[in-house]
Copies of this chain bind each other. A is one copy, B any other.
Amino acid sequence: MQQIFYEIKIRTKGQGLYNFTEQTLNWLKKQKINNGILNINILHTSASLTIQENADPNVLYDLKNFFDKLVPMDNKLYKHTTEGIDDMPAHIKSVLTNNQLTLSVKDGNILLGTWQGIYLFEHRLEPQIRIISHHFFGE
């Protein structure tokens, strides 16, 4: 039984979904592992993690657009306004989505569907450095 920790840093350039499946798989393939759990956590509260379709980029555009309409950037709607017009909407969007993903690893591969990719969902307007913790636990 082994536990391996790893951090991926992603530099975001504004709102949207960033596919980091390949970075995760590249790291995983270098490990001598077989089966186990891969726990992925984002250590921020204004961005989130999600699994989504990796085929049509329009899906990613529509996702970003839907969340922008659902959670408007309008300071009149919120009390927490000191960190910018996008900060409180970013917190709300992160609660509506996910902070963490727990994936299964079998024969060295992550169990994902054909069309599934692992995404960072950035909710802030300005560039950010996002730390995504990876934790493999298995054999």
- What is the interface of chain A, defined by CB distance below 8 A to chain B? 1, 3, 5, 35-37, 39, 41-45, 50-53, 56, 58-59, 61-63, 66, 70-71, 77-80, 82, 88, 91-92, 94-104, 106, 111-116, 121, 131, 133, 135, 137-139
Contact = CB atoms under 8 A, between A and B. Distances in A.
| Copies of this chain, whole number | 3
A82 B57 CA distance: 13
A70 to B, nearest CB: 8
B106 A137 contact: no
Given A92-B62, A138-B137, A111 B50 contact: no
Given A3-B139, A45-B53, 6 more contacts: A1-B1, A3-B35, A50-B95, A53-B91, A99-B116, A137-B137
